Chain A
Amino acid sequence: MLDYAEAIHRLIEELRRLPGIGQKSAQRIAFHILRMNAEDVRRLARAIEEVKEKIILCSICQNVTDVDPCRFCSSDARDRSMICVVEEPYNVAAIERTREYRGLYHVLHGALSPIRGIGPDDLKIRSLLERLRSGEVREIILAMNPNTEGEATANYLARLLKPLGVRVTRIATGLPVGSDLEFADEVTMYRALVNRREM
């Protein structure tokens, strides 16, 4: 016998399938939805439906967008000689917040991870290589996360891209601004030293 009415049980089961949501969180969200007024619930349901209906991948950079090509790829103000490669669409927002980078992007939609069954064919690598055919691109910035998966992916891409004659760079790793040397671990400190810069 179910603990709750069929509809609540089904909602809890659906919510549980979302990343980071366990049984208790799913239950909490389900009962919150139950207490919301009908209009708010409809708006939430519409927003979920719309994101699936309207959002597509940009045919050039593979970023999520509602127009194709996306606003980065179609903008004349962007520097077309640089492509910054990131793992996920939300990484683009993190780089855009700096207001420093004016080039284009390419989203891989993941990183190499044998234990999660993610290999090169599961990433948007082929479309990145196709973008280099025009000869317009001079530099590729590899902005994967600074962890084992991100580094392995960056190394894999560097091996593919360097023979094509483009400059391949990796975003710097080291100490975060506002931290204290005293608390840095060996790997972070080592990387900060190796990647030191001339003053």
Chain B
Amino acid sequence: MAIKESEAFVLMTYPLAEADKIVVLFTRLYGKIRAVARGARRPKSRFGACLEPLSEILISFYERESRELVALRRCELFCSPFERAATPEGEAFLHHVAELVDALQPPAEPHPPVYRLIRATRDAFLQGASLPALAAYFEMWMLKLGGFFSPLEACAACGKAFPPEAPIWIARDGVPRCARCGPPAGGHMILASLRRLLAEMLTRSPIEWSSLPTPKEAIQLHRLLTRLLRDVLERELKTELSLNV
């Protein structure tokens, strides 16, 4: 019963028994794990404010062979977005990030780029970045890191480079097509202005990029990317509507 240690982001918690919580964590070294935090709902719990969504913490835990859930022994808080999350919009954004990580990351598979993406997104959130823009940035990178978003440079059907000002189509599996080859069934159109913004996402940090789109463009991108995420996950996202207000 070896004790393991890792940095981790808290994704979500569920009440368990009288005063415990089940915590879903995305750890840097062990990927997504589910843990039991004994007594976490008591006022004098040793976990304190550590288990709030997207808190970055150092955890130590142990696992038993026949148990699906690991047991949290200790938590140390590195960074908490609690104060900005204490608004309906802030909470909706953090829940959206947590839902995407939980939905797209398989259990027990570490993914350092996803970990770094969550950290950079959390930092931009704390610096006051626009939430629809930040959501779009996070969604695009989650799709890209999951292998669901191809470069938008050339048509996958005819192989020709896209003209800079022409709208393009993106199929439900994320493959791009030009207007000449025709829209794929159930595909989504991307205007040239949005395509340029998507290209900029690949070279800029979330805080830099989130100042580029207009509020309208940010919401258009967020809507487009959540549609792609829906296609990938084959289900509705619980948190997408909350950001559209």
Contact = CB atoms under 8 A, between A and B. Distances in A.
B238 A114 contact: yes
A114 B239 contact: yes
Q: What is the predominant secondary structure among interface residues of chain A facing chain B?
A: helix
Interface stretch (A27-35, A78-86, A115-123): A115-123
Contact of B88 (A20, A112, A117, A178): A112
Interface in B85-104: 85-88, 90-92, 94-96, 98-99
A188 interface: yes
B53 interface: yes
B43 interface: yes
B195 interface: no
A113 interface: yes
B85 A151 contact: yes
A148 B91 contact: yes
A188 B49 contact: yes
Interface of B: 12, 15-18, 43-44, 46, 48-50, 52-53, 77, 80, 82-83, 85-88, 90-92, 94-96, 98-99, 238-239, 242
Nearest to A22: B16
B96 A114 contact: yes
Contact of A19 (B15, B46, B99): B15
Contacts of A186: 49, 77, 80
A83 to B, nearest CB: 21
Nearest to A115: B95
A44 B35 CA distance: 33
Contact of B77 (A116, A147, A187): A187
A115 B48 CA distance: 22
Contacts of A187: 48-49, 52, 77, 80, 82-83
B70 to A, nearest CB: 15
Contacts of B90: 152
Interface residues of A, number: 28
Interface string A1-33: 000000000000000000110000000000000
B238 A152 contact: no
B46 A183 contact: yes
Interface in A159-198: 176, 178-179, 183-188, 190
Interface in A24-83: none
Interface in A137-158: 147-149, 151-156
Contacts of A155: 86-88
Q: Name the residue in B15, B46, B95 with the highest tally of chain A Cβ atoms < 10 Å from its Cβ.
A: B95
A185 B88 contact: no
Given A176-B44, A188-B49, 7 more contacts: A114-B239, A115-B95, A115-B99, A148-B53, A148-B86, A152-B90, A190-B83
Contacts of A148: 52-53, 82, 85-86, 91, 94
Nearest to B16: A20
Nearest to B239: A114
